[in-house]
């Protein structure tokens, strides 16, 4: 995400949801093909697919939180952000 867009919470949430749902859609396709009861069976396809979608969105949310933490601490930079100074390391 570019620096000017970094403060938009709706864009951040949309990115997390998009990555999570695309990841879940790929798994949903596999569940439909491998189901012995039909492509829209509730217990064999819909339930596990919804669970996997929730897990995918949660996983991408944790990854986004970890990236924000790294951005805040200066461990990584956003695209377009200039390097100003070295990040401070805690003294022992």
pLDDT of residue 88: 56
Is there a domain that residue 79 lies in? no
Domain extent for 29: 9-73
> Domains in the chain: how many in total?
1
pLDDT at 76 over 90: no
Choice between 56 and 37, residue whose per-residue pLDDT is larger: 56
Is there a domain that residue 2 lies in? no
Q: Are 77 and 1 in contact (CB under 8 A)?
A: no
Choice between 34 and 51, residue whose per-residue pLDDT is larger: 51
Exposure string of 29-63, with b = 16+ CB inside 10 Å and e = fewer, is eebbeebeeeeeeeebbbeebeebbeebbeebbee
pLDDT at 92 over 60: no
Is there a domain that residue 91 lies in? no
End-to-end Cα separation, the chain, in angstroms: 34
What's the token pair of residue 60? 């991408």
What's the token pair of residue 36? 């012995």
């Amino acid at each position: 995400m570019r620096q000017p867009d970094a403060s938009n919470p709706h864009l951040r949430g949309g990115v997390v949801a998009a990555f999570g749902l695309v990841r879940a859609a790929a798994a949903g396709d596999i569940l439909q093909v491998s189901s012995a009861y039909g492509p829209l069976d509730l217990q064999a396809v819909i339930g596990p697919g919804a669970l996997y979608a929730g897990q995918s969105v949660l996983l991408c949310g944790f990854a986004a939180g970890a990236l924000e933490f790294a951005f805040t601490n200066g461990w990584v930079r956003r695209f377009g952000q200039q390097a100003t100074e070295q990040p401070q390391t805690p003294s022992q």
